[in-house]
Amino acid sequence: FAQQGTFENSPTAAMPRSKVLELFAGIAEQSCKVRKADAVVRMQDWSIATFPAWQEVQIGILSGVTGTPKHVIGSEMVEDAESEWGVGEWQARLPQNKAPHP
């Protein structure tokens, strides 16, 4: 969440795709300990990035998501969830829902 301001619409609106990928790769390098160059390559891989993300969007649509913010876990809409929730709030809520789909 600390990096959220760097990739919201206004900072990235005029950036070319390559710069947006570099921005996210930099975040991944800091938080996930992956090499920035490797992250850029993986983000552009249809089978491990684009297609799985597309599938997640389809699950959201089928679950009734019509805008943001919405939260879907285990193919079910989580009602009354807040984007500002931290780990504690989600941990308290998750047992009420099915485990996320594989």
Please, are residues 6 and 21 in contact by the beta-carbon 8 Å criterion?
A: no
Please, are residues 23 and 7 in contact by the beta-carbon 8 Å criterion?
A: yes
pLDDT tens profile 82-96: 878 888 888 887 766
Query: Model pTM?
Result: 0.55
pLDDT band at 55 (very low <50, low <70, confident <90, very high): very high
